[in-house]
Amino acid sequence: MATASNVAGTNPAQAQEFTRPVRSLWSDAWLRLRRNRLAMASIVYLFLLALVAIFAPVIAPHSPGRPTTTELRERGVYRQAAWVVDEKTPKRSGIWKFPLGTDSAGGDVLSRLIYGTRVSMVVGFIPMIFTLTIGITIGLISGFAGGKLDSLLMRFTDIIFSLPDILFFIIVQTAFSQTAFGKTFNGLLLIFLSFSAVNWASVARLVRGQVLSLKEKEFVEAAEAVGVRRGSILFRHILPNTLAPIIVAGAFIVPSAIVTEATLSFLGIGIQPDTNPNNPFPTSWGQMILEGKSAIDSQPWILIASAIAIASITIAFVALGDGLRDALDPRQ
């Protein structure tokens, strides 16, 4: 008896060759993301930075919060990078004990750079969590409830969205940086909250738009028809289908937060420098840029190293965000 494949003119081996295993959206997205070499390189680089941040006390050759006796003797003298020789002032010539040289306090620039990774990673991810939590909550409620509540929440969102970010950060930092709350974790907590307070609006508008589109779909109408509770529809059917754009938005929030912290520290109103050796966040790349600006002629690597670090981590997150956006696009 002829099989269906023979009737169709195709033998079983050819039919098997053209069949494709069923994959979910997330499996397809991961497959597409793996083909993006720049995005995968960014993931590897960010993973290495995360390891540097976690194991900074082990990796750093010196403590940035407590200079050694040698460093104390060299305060006020910028030692150059290890490969630079200063014939006029031998004391400023580089040595491999301090690969990137020293700062004005005699501290090791490389150690400060390593510890600054902690601040950038924390400043990137924690505000992202706060921002997404607030934005997703307001966006879900506004889009699903509709009516007067939707109008009220969106008008409030529009007001927050219209606030100039940097001006708001400067006002908050100036007003509260000297308070007990503002000094918590060297001012990091204040930066977290001030960043999240104004950046959730774009996430809320994104989520609301997704919810308004999804709640008109057939699978939502079917769930309502069989008597599924509204809360279950929202969290089990609508929210999971909004995750793709939310993940992409989160990937772009991180570099924005990192640049914001560096900007505030450069202006002198970011995290506060601390010499306490037990402080896990003693310095930041923004502080190094601020110090390096005034020492550009004496010790340029304070500025160059921190600027390269900020630029590289920002480019990595942006590249990852672009890769996620392409991978999670259903049109692909």
Give domain status of residue 285, yes or no: yes
CA 241 to chain centre: 23
Helix, coil or strand: residue 173:
helix
**Helices then strands, each counted (H, E), the chain:** 15, 0
Distance CA 172, CA 157 (A): 19
| Domains contained in the chain, number | 1
Is pLDDT of 3 > 50? no
Asked if residues 32 and 326 have their Cβ atoms less than 8 Å apart, the reply is yes
Residue 20, in any domain of the structure? no
Q: Which of 133, 154, 130 is nearest to 142 (CA)?
A: 154
Residue 212 lies in a domain: yes
pLDDT digits (tens, 9 = 90+) for 271-326: 876 666 677 778 888 888 888 888 787 788 888 999 999 999 999 999 998 888 88
The percent of the chain in helix, strand and coil, each rounded to the nearest 5, is 70, 0, 30
- Stated as kind and residue range, the H or E segment containing 41 is helix 37-54
> Model's pTM, two decimal places?
0.80
Q: Report yes or no on 315 lying in a domain.
A: yes
CB of 154 closer than 8 Å to CB of 145: no
Give the integer Cα–Cα distance in Å for 218 and 226. 12
- Tokens at 23, concatenated: 């994959």
Q: What is the CATH number of the domain that holds 261?
A: 1.10.3720.10
Contact 291, 103 (CB under 8 A): yes
The predicted structure's pLDDT at residue 2:
46
Range of the domain at 284: 35-328
Residue-wise pLDDT for 103-118, tens only, equals: 777 778 888 899 989 9
Q: Is residue 242 part of a domain?
A: yes
Q: How confident is the model at residue 7 (pLDDT cuts 50, 70, 90)?
A: very low
Q: What is the mean pLDDT of residues 38-46?
A: 93
Q: How many CB atoms lie within 10 A of CB 187?
A: 25
Domain contains 12? no
Question: Is 29 domain-assigned?
Answer: no
Q: Is the pLDDT of residue 91 over 90?
A: no
